[in-house]
Amino acid sequence: MKIGIPGAAGRMGQALTRQVTATDGCTVVAATEVPGHAALGRDCGALAGIEPLGVAVGDDAQAMFRAADAVLDFTLPGAAARHAELAAAEGTMLVVGTTGLGADEQAALEAAAAQTAVVQAPNMSLAVNLLFRLTEQVAGLLDDDYDIEIVEMHHRHKIDAPSGTALGLGRAAARARGVAFDEVAARGRDGVTGARARGEIGLAALRGGDVTGEHSVIFAADGERLELAVRSSNRQTYARGAVQAARWAEGRGPGLYTMADVLGLD
């Protein structure tokens, strides 16, 4: 499988380059960065700390989509939307791990999915996707006597909060309880807030250091507390899931798929 990697000089781009190179049957054929980036012209393998791959980082996204069977996107919302349009035009499979998308950007992905296979997930980690499912199962079994709180922590450079994964966990819990997430979500508390509302789903975002990603879902009742958690120590877990998603999507028809589809959880 020929794979393209936008944002190749970034932390996730480098992790993706390493993972694709280490996966039998996959190869990096194109890598891009934004115009003017200092990494332009450099070998993407050398950037990722492995042997040179003979693939220079360029700034022509359309050429990348034409050369690749699949593109793995962990960039920014605006870039992900543009890449979705290119994927649709070129018929290239697209795997999207970018979070923080607005309504227009999400609409671009959905439009692309009418033309090609798109796999989108707020987190590509296999363990985190099992956490989504476990959260939904537990929330459906425990009633509102159990308060749900979701705590996430990421490195100081992360620009969106709560994380897409935390929001996905909140939506999974709300879905299991048959409520609208936006109506019960409490995205941080400050000052005199009053007593916690029954049925509320709380979210807390912590930022600091070089933490790759930690997510905990807490079910707290009088007398006991159940906690589900995944702690990622490096980005290769996300990269491994993204490559698995691309391989799963090969030969699939157009559609907007999730990691639950990839893992056979639905």
Shared domain check, 103 and 168: no
The DSSP bridge pattern shows strands 147-154 and 213-221 to be antiparallel
Q: How far apart are the C-alpha atoms of 49 and 185, rounded to whole Å?
A: 41
pTM of the complete model: 0.82
Closest CA to 106 of 84, 126, 86: 84
Shared domain check, 106 and 16: yes
Mutual angle of helices 11-22 and 236-249, in 10-degree steps: 60
Domain total of the chain: 2
- Domain of 88, CATH number, reads 3.40.50.720
Is the pLDDT confidence value at 99 over 90?
no
Q: Which domain holds residue 115?
A: 2-120+235-263
pLDDT tens readout for residues 109-139? 999 999 999 999 988 998 999 999 999 999 9
Closest CA to 174 of 196, 195, 148: 148
pLDDT tens readout for residues 170-199? 999 999 999 999 999 999 889 999 999 999
pLDDT tens readout for residues 140-177? 999 999 999 999 999 999 988 999 899 999 999 999 99
Q: Give the active site residues.
A: 154, 158
Q: How far is CA 135 from the centre of its chain?
A: 17
Shared domain check, 195 and 141: yes
